[in-house]
Each structure stands twice: as C-alpha cells, then as structure tokens.
Amino acid sequence: MDIKTQQRVHFLDSLRGVTIIHMVLFHFCYDLVFFLGAAIPWYTQWQGNLWGAYIRWSFILISGMVFFMGRHPVKRGMILLGWGCVLTLATWAAVPEALVRFGILSFQGAASLIGVLAYPWLKRTPPQWGMLCSAMLLAVCWTVPQGGLGAGGHILLNIPESCYRTRYLYWLGFPGKDFYSTDYFPILPWIFLFFFGVFLGEFLRAKGVFEWMGRRKPGVLAFFGRHSLGIYLLHQPVLYGVCIIIKGLY
C-alpha cells in the first residue's frame, strides 16, 4: 500500500531522543535497584511509576505521529517484529528472570503493520473524531489484559475466560495466569494510543505545525531520536556491564 511520506520533522526526532535518554536512565535505575540492591526509594513508588508511564506513552504517541511520514512501514514493521523476537530469545537464554515477551519493539512492529491495514480508514477519518474515538476505545480496552472491558480502570464487562486460557493470544491482550514479561505491550489496549498519535500527527500537520517545525535544524537530541532502535538494543548490555563493574568495585 502506498503511503505518502512527509518531510522529516526534526522536532519529533528530538522528542524521541529525549524519550530514549529517559528510558536509558530509567533502566539504569532499574538495574541498580533490582540487580545491585541499591536503595532508591522513590523509584519503586509513584514517582518511578509516573516516570515509566511518561516513557511508555511518549514512545507510542510519537510512533503514531510519525506513521504517515515514515517510509516503507511494512518493512519497518517486520524489522521491529524481528528484533522483538531476538530480544525475547536473548532474555530467555541469558536473563530469564527479565524475560521480555511482546515488548515495546514487538508492539511497534505490529502497530506499523496494523496501521498499513487500517490506512484507508485512518485517512478518511477527521483527526478530531479519530482522537476522540481512539481515547474512548483506549479507556474501554484498558482492562482487557485483566479480564474485561471497563472504564476508569474498573472492569464492567467480563471477556470469556477461554480467551485467556490459551497460551497464544497474549500478544493480543489475553495473557494466561502463568504469563510473565518484564516489558509487555499487547495490541489491546495500546493500539488505540498509537492511533491517537496518528490522528494527533495529522491534526498538527493540517494546522501547519510540522511545516514550521521542519525548518528547525536537527541537533544532538534529533540524532539520538533517529538512532533510537540501535540505542534501545545496545543500552541494556552496556548497563549490565556498568553494573558488573560497580559491583566489582564495591
């Protein structure tokens, strides 16, 4: 499917660069707390939860916002899914206690492919209505991994338990009782946050915001944003090495 690409917006690259830096720092704190036993009380409290939520939501929103600007979304989706599988195998073999199944890379790959399939609907839907519908569906489906549809984090309509008994639907949002993953982004509900980002990006583009931002010269943060996949794949092995050095010194 031919998706028209737009001029690269360096500001969005910079936003992604800021987010990837936050992610590296967040994971470094995780390693210090859970591997080295460092005392960082705020990290395991609401401050740390809020920090993690900001990182997760930012990555998915930005991915949605740049969807129409990306080249070869099918190829990119397959690459991200492939790296997601590599990450799953690597964590299963090396650090099973930190196993990653359908993490952020797998989700972004799947979201890109779903976005291609949904492209005709996405293009025909006015951005304002798209954002509203996406926000409502995100809220309703937020509790799908917990067992049903709801509102405000409370389940109002249970989904048949048979959907959660199989071992093969966790990627969709139906994890079984024994499912475990340290990084889990199922299609439901996160695809609707991705769609919200798509419509938000179209809304800002129609208002000329991206055209204005596109005139700005890229900086260091934009460089990090353009190379976010490589940074994501390499940062944890580097952080593990740093933790080993710290443990050896102390």
Model confidence at 214, in pLDDT bands (50, 70, 90)?
Answer: low
Q: What's the rounded mean pLDDT across residues 127-147?
A: 97
Q: In whole angstroms, give the CA distance from residue 77 to residue 59.
A: 15
- pLDDT at residue 234 tops 90: yes
Give pLDDT tens digits for 13-31.
Answer: 889 999 999 999 999 999 9
What pTM was estimated for this model as a whole?
0.91
Q: What is the pLDDT of residues 45-81, one digit of tens each?
A: 999 999 999 999 999 999 999 888 877 899 999 999 9
Distances (CA, A) of 187 to 52, 205, 207: 19, 26, 30
Q: What is the average per-residue pLDDT within 72-95?
A: 93
DSSP of 40-69, one letter per residue? -GGGGSHHHHHHHHHHHHHHHHHHHHTGGG
pLDDT of 5 above 70: no
Among candidate residues 70, 63, 83, the one with its CA nearest the CA of residue 15 = 63
pLDDT tens digits along 143-165: 999 999 998 889 999 999 999 99
For the chain, give the mean pLDDT: 90
Q: How much is the pLDDT for 211?
A: 73
